[in-house]
Amino acid sequence: MGDVAVGARSGHDGEENRGHPVETAVPAADGAPASGHDSGTEDGRVTDEHSGPQDEGVGGTPAAAPPEQKKQRSFWKELPILIGIALVLALLIKTFLVQAFSIPSASMQNTLTINDRVLVDKLTPWFGSEPERGEVVVFHDPDDWLAGEPTPDPNALQTVLSWIGLMPSADEKDLIKRVIGVGGDTVECSKTGPLKVNGKALNEPYVYPGNTPCSVDDQGGQFKVKVPEGSLWVMGDHRQNSRDSRYNQSDKHGGMVPVKEVVGRAIVIAWPMNRWDTLPVPDTFDQDGLQARSSAAAALSAAPQGLALAGIVPVVWWRRRRTASAETR
């Protein structure tokens, strides 16, 4: 009898075998080709010659493989990313709250020369921070200090930049000087110097070479003044070529600059490239007895970085919550 092939049975044969188990087909001899029916498995699954059985999905389609769980990054791996985001946010905040100014005169030489472009931080005053001794600040003309000075004629680029707020308008009258005294200070000059603040002599390496810290004249170069609260006493670094607080003591503010007129602090020389430099506060203003800058003011100057970090915290919290939620599904 040998091997039995499974084929179609007549209806009569079906009646005879009804209720009886169907005999299992005998495997084909080695090397013999299998029939089309033999290519299926007993439970209806189809096997591929290169792989094992695949689970069926709905309607006989293969079920989708379960999604791989995303491993959460460690905090230390995310830290550089967070720092990078904070720096970018700080840069964006500062970029839209910084204004460029062009230097038209020699009153701040050699710290600033004619045609230098400086960037002025306008953000920190929003948080209540006031100018400190030694800072270079830009301020609106308090009382016709620029009377008789020629009006600048801007080029096309400067006109566009002033229109979008990155440079001052040609109609604005702004000056740039160094803050020497703040509210409550006593500032004085006798003979050729040194310049004194609250009785402490200042070492001023930024004064223009060949100039003396104080000017010997009867027009304001010799003085002793008390700075009122809410005001500043300012002087140019080119002492013998600067019309500053000394020479405006007859105006309505007595030569002082109201803090409310300050646009912001000049923080860097941005142009030309060979002149690029920062504008830090000289060490002489940190000496004991000058009531050096308070920690509160220092904290306010870090406002852009603080805002950037504060903005990141909710984003990081939301991202980590979302990752944890995905892992528990």
10 is catalytic: no
Q: In this predicted model, which residue has the larger pLDDT, 67 or 11?
A: 67
pLDDT tens, residue by residue, 260-317: 999 899 999 998 999 999 999 999 999 888 874 443 344 444 444 454 445 545 545 5
CB–CB of 110/237 below 8 Å?
A: yes
Provide the pLDDT for residue 17.
44
* Catalytic residue, candidates 105, 107, 129, 162: 107
pLDDT tens, residue by residue, 100-129: 888 888 999 999 999 899 988 887 776 678
Pair of tokens at residue 183? 């509210």
- Identify which of 124, 133, 241, 211 has the alpha carbon closest to the alpha carbon of residue 178: 133
CB–CB of 194/204 below 8 Å?
A: yes
Domains of the chain and any CATH numbers: 102-293 (2.10.109.10)
Mean per-residue pLDDT over the chain, rounded: 73
Provide the pLDDT for residue 173.
80
Provide the pLDDT for residue 1.
45
* Catalytic residue, candidates 122, 177, 242, 245: 177
pLDDT tens, residue by residue, 5-57: 433 343 444 444 444 444 444 444 444 444 444 444 344 333 344 444 444 44
162 is catalytic: no
Which stretch of DSSP H or E encloses residue 223?
strand 223-226
